[in-house]
Chain A
């Protein structure tokens, strides 16, 4: 049987983790409980953080959005947070079913660190800093430095994910995801694309097509030079198609039981082309 501490404050959570640095953190439980129910994990110590008020906070400023680790997918899909970080809302909408989205959290998605974690490409594209606290105080790091492999993070013993701090650029945001059916799917390929009209930049990150969450930096730089930022910021079809190919080059997918590497690489190119065109040429269809 597990020894479970239900923390009511960040201090309590930190204290419990300090007592048992190897403890497993339980937020919404949508990943952890599946593993426990399957007998894949039997944690000796669990720290429940769903009732830690500090983790449930979020804030919106002119230039950035801060989302606590305990904020649920449902909350991310809800105004005003959904308006401040539209791609985050779009990604949250693709996670599971309503009960899963009511329970699952941003911190949980980060902690699981699956390449198929739906919010992770959004965080990468929004230059998010992941903030963690632990015995040595607070650390802030880019997503690249936080997710270091398939389901592997750079969290140290006793550390807890507190929040993600992301950009709030002026421009459209797009998240697109492919699964084997039209809802409630694990990603076969996902993509977040963010237009930043002030910085005259495009940022694009990929899910489920590499061990980590790659940013397509070469493609981003290439396309930024081909957007007419001064005159309506349009993009023509050939550029969008070429961008797609260049984004696909940033992927390194594998064959598995969910799909093939060839399809994933192809799909990323299509998704990138479509996301770019939506972000720069369309008024955009109504969002689901």
Chain B
């Protein structure tokens, strides 16, 4: 299969500045070129097979019975009425889990099925397999669970002193960062308390998959996920079988954004398939999806910034409380990120930052695009604006004065050794031309949009600016390596990698890399699976371009070395004088040339590599250490029109600049930036899981709203700031998360500028503006 590249125009955006003219290998279908996605056209045409489209002969439908209570003891479960229903093949409870009952990404504290107790609304209690999805659903409803409801713990700040709701206690992690002279005080001090609501990843494709049992007791699982191998590890432990007996293949993923990093239905599908001996499929409904995956941690943050009279930061104090919900998920890493990046991309000589991730009876929270940095960016950028006001200083100048640069230390003591052009990113974004927003009578351009609430005369305009950053790859000593195999046979390259394509564009990039490294045009990307290739790590943490891109590059280079060595021996020349290009092996002196298809005829050449990033180390008891591999920053300038009487907002423009290292595919870069900004806009203005004593009140796209085309403004990319990152393949940094980190804070700042309201909480609700 060759990719059918179709170049799609980057909708509505302009890419200018240092980006487009310094790409690595423009004009080909290799690295740096605007190669279209192989899955782009099928997705647009509705022909792409998502995990919800899986089909097999004689399969059953699975369904999950979930807890209606945030906290309850289970006194008994009567599955009799469900088992008695025609068409029901299995009803499974916690006792039917043959291996380890609990799983988890960092701490295995989450039961695959509730065992005597439920700790959040939506916790899986029982599984049903039936020959029709509606029968499975009805059978689940027929199960009688005798609950003894108990008082839930729903306040993260109160959780540490409340009675433990889990044997592991109510604290996932407390972290303290003590950096520099903590007794120092500034001449100017500003203080603030900020809050971020619980955002959902709101991917379009709900959790779905299919498990197929084998006669030897093994199971094959097709599923949409972010990390096949860590799924396999957890599934095998719960099933009590060897990992080799669990084979995963990535099914078509309809978005992820962190929500597919934890297990959802993986263990359940395999249990039902092995129990019934039949293929079993599950597709969550939209409502169920909101209960079936982790969310972004809601945050409460107290900040005190100290600066000298000129605006130089002297000290940052912060206390951050994240509500982790009922189970650990990645809370301990999220609070580490939130704390490490709490001061923003600034030179801060002294910092005292205390972070707490607490367990409550709210829905579990875990990974979401930005991973802790989003919450604290809203805090530190709100503080920087407050500080600028206290100093009577331009907020952009204040940021430039304090911008961190290579050679500076983070509050964790780590010296920035890679590229980190924070000041350039700030300048490129803040000093980009003001957007041209022509006056419009069309109410769709005004706050309230199609609701016709607002005339131009009812609006005030505001502009806000924010900059944020985060780590690339996993941190604190974690070796999140990737694996890839490359085979070149008959002149065609085949790449095998378990990297989960969740929409980020790896399927395109892997082919671009192989073309560039091997001088071939035809590149086959084998399915992502666990049977024949090692882990690629997670499609998260802005890491796959670097890590799996690096693995593919290394595998291709290994094959290239083998081919050139053989040809050099054949021709009696040095391999240094040979290259692969245009489907040929050629010597640079022009004396030798051979068709790669002939050179690699038959078995061809093959290499299988593991790619590791530079090691990191854990944080010490003062939160100090070289815990992170690399960093990337982005800045956003938001221009908004606000109807202050009704509290309605129309974002008119987002201008951005981003530290990208190198752009490997301009169109995909624009896509990441526009999509990330849309998610940031959602968090700023509308996206929030509303909870009432642990109960999700808006588990639907009717009431959990995400931006529409009438909410999303034009995005102006003022610059891709390209300073190649040493050690990164092609110098490219991951670009998926920075667009989401500071866009929310910039929009909030713009609404503040328009209204004069303090607005210490996102999402900003109409009443927050209109009623102060």
B767 in complex: contacting residue of A174, A263, A285, CB < 8 Å: A263
8 Å CB contacts to A: which residues of B454-470?
454-456, 458
User: Quick check: is A266 within 8 A (CB to CB) of the other chain?
Assistant: yes
Bound-state CA distance A274–B700 (Å) is 32
8 Å CB contacts to A: which residues of B598-650?
645-648, 650
Bound-state CA distance A228–B287 (Å) is 53
Q: Which of A180, A181, A185 has the most CB of B within 10 A?
A: A181
Among the 9-residue stretches A18-26, A55-63, A215-223, A252-260, the one with 4 or more Cβ atoms under 8 Å from chain B is A252-260
Chain A residues in 8 Å Cβ range of B707: 181
8 Å CB contacts to A: which residues of B155-203?
none
User: Quick check: is A270 within 8 A (CB to CB) of the other chain?
Assistant: yes
A38-B285 CB under 8 A given contacts A182-B451, A182-B650? yes
The answer on a CB contact under 8 Å between A181 and B685 is yes
The answer on a CB contact under 8 Å between B708 and A184 is yes
B771 in complex: contacting residue of A39, A175, A266, CB < 8 Å: A266
Bound-state CA distance A90–B449 (Å) is 12
User: Quick check: is A286 within 8 A (CB to CB) of the other chain?
Assistant: yes
User: Quick check: is A179 within 8 A (CB to CB) of the other chain?
Assistant: yes
Q: Which of A175, A259, A285 has the most CB of B within 10 A?
A: A285
Chain B residues in 8 Å Cβ range of A176: 448, 451-453
| Chain B 252-283: CB-based contact to A (< 8 A → 1; otherwise 0) | 00000000000000000000000000000000
Chain A residues in 8 Å Cβ range of B452: 90, 94, 174-177, 287-288
Distance (whole angstroms) from the CB of A184 to the closest CB of chain B:
5
The answer on a CB contact under 8 Å between B710 and A182 is yes
Chain B residues in 8 Å Cβ range of A94: 450-452
A262 in complex: contacting residue of B141, B447, B454, B767, CB < 8 Å: B767
| Chain A 273-288: CB-based contact to B (< 8 A → 1; otherwise 0) | 0100010000001111
Chain B residues in 8 Å Cβ range of A38: 285, 287, 700
Distance (whole angstroms) from the CB of B685 to the closest CB of chain A:
7
The answer on a CB contact under 8 Å between B710 and A286 is no
A262-B448 CB under 8 A given contacts A182-B710, A267-B766? no
Q: Which of B455, B700, B766 has the most CB of A within 10 A?
A: B766
User: Quick check: is B5 within 8 A (CB to CB) of the other chain?
Assistant: no
User: Quick check: is A188 within 8 A (CB to CB) of the other chain?
Assistant: yes
Bound-state CA distance A288–B647 (Å) is 20
Chain B residues in 8 Å Cβ range of A37: 285
The answer on a CB contact under 8 Å between B708 and A259 is no
Chain A residues in 8 Å Cβ range of B767: 259-260, 262-263, 266
The answer on a CB contact under 8 Å between A182 and B711 is yes
Chain A residues in 8 Å Cβ range of B690: 257
Chain B residues in 8 Å Cβ range of A274: 453-455, 458
Size category of the binding interface on chain B? 35 or more
The answer on a CB contact under 8 Å between B703 and A183 is no
User: Quick check: is A178 within 8 A (CB to CB) of the other chain?
Assistant: yes
Size category of the binding interface on chain A? 35 or more
User: Quick check: is A271 within 8 A (CB to CB) of the other chain?
Assistant: yes
The answer on a CB contact under 8 Å between B703 and A257 is yes
A177 in complex: contacting residue of B287, B441, B451, CB < 8 Å: B451
Chain A residues in 8 Å Cβ range of B454: 274
Chain B residues in 8 Å Cβ range of A183: 444, 449-450, 708-711
User: Quick check: is B698 within 8 A (CB to CB) of the other chain?
Assistant: yes
Distance (whole angstroms) from the CB of B349 to the closest CB of chain A:
42
User: Quick check: is A129 within 8 A (CB to CB) of the other chain?
Assistant: no
User: Quick check: is B58 within 8 A (CB to CB) of the other chain?
Assistant: no
Bound-state CA distance A14–B732 (Å) is 68
Chain B residues in 8 Å Cβ range of A266: 767, 770-771
CB-CB nearest in chain A for B709: A183
Distance (whole angstroms) from the CB of A116 to the closest CB of chain B:
10
User: Quick check: is B692 within 8 A (CB to CB) of the other chain?
Assistant: yes
The answer on a CB contact under 8 Å between A185 and B698 is no
Bound-state CA distance A188–B451 (Å) is 11
Bound-state CA distance A259–B710 (Å) is 21
CB-CB nearest in chain A for B691: A257
A271-B450 CB under 8 A given contacts A180-B766, A263-B766? no
User: Quick check: is B443 within 8 A (CB to CB) of the other chain?
Assistant: yes
| Chain B 751-772: CB-based contact to A (< 8 A → 1; otherwise 0) | 0000000000000011100110
CB-CB nearest in chain A for B648: A178
The answer on a CB contact under 8 Å between B455 and A285 is yes
Distance (whole angstroms) from the CB of B141 to the closest CB of chain A:
8
Distance (whole angstroms) from the CB of A36 to the closest CB of chain B:
10
The answer on a CB contact under 8 Å between B698 and A257 is yes
A285-B456 CB under 8 A given contacts A180-B686, A262-B771? yes
8 Å CB contacts to B: which residues of A224-271?
257-260, 262-263, 266-267, 270-271
User: Quick check: is A93 within 8 A (CB to CB) of the other chain?
Assistant: yes
The answer on a CB contact under 8 Å between A181 and B686 is yes
8 Å CB contacts to B: which residues of A48-93?
90, 93
| Chain B 701-714: CB-based contact to A (< 8 A → 1; otherwise 0) | 01101011111000
User: Quick check: is B137 within 8 A (CB to CB) of the other chain?
Assistant: yes
Bound-state CA distance A254–B456 (Å) is 30
Bound-state CA distance A270–B769 (Å) is 14
Distance (whole angstroms) from the CB of A201 to the closest CB of chain B:
22
The answer on a CB contact under 8 Å between B703 and A179 is no
8 Å CB contacts to B: which residues of A154-206?
174-186, 188, 190
Bound-state CA distance A220–B451 (Å) is 22
Known: A184-B705, A270-B645. 16 other contacts (CB 8 A): A38-B285, A39-B141, A94-B450, A176-B452, A181-B685, A181-B710, A182-B447, A186-B703, A188-B766, A259-B765, A259-B767, A262-B767, A271-B646, A285-B443, A286-B442, A288-B444
B-side residues, CB < 8 A to A, are: 137, 141, 285, 287, 441-444, 447-456, 458, 645-648, 650, 685-686, 690, 692, 697-698, 700, 702-703, 705, 707-711, 765-767, 770-771
A-side residues, CB < 8 A to B, are: 34, 37-39, 90, 93-94, 174-186, 188, 190, 257-260, 262-263, 266-267, 270-271, 274, 278, 285-288
Pick 8 A–B contacts, CB within 8 A, sort by A.
Answer: A39-B137, A178-B448, A181-B710, A182-B648, A182-B711, A258-B703, A266-B770, A271-B453
| The 5 residue pairs across chains A and B that have the minimum distance between CB atoms | A182-B449, A257-B697, A263-B767, A288-B443, A177-B451
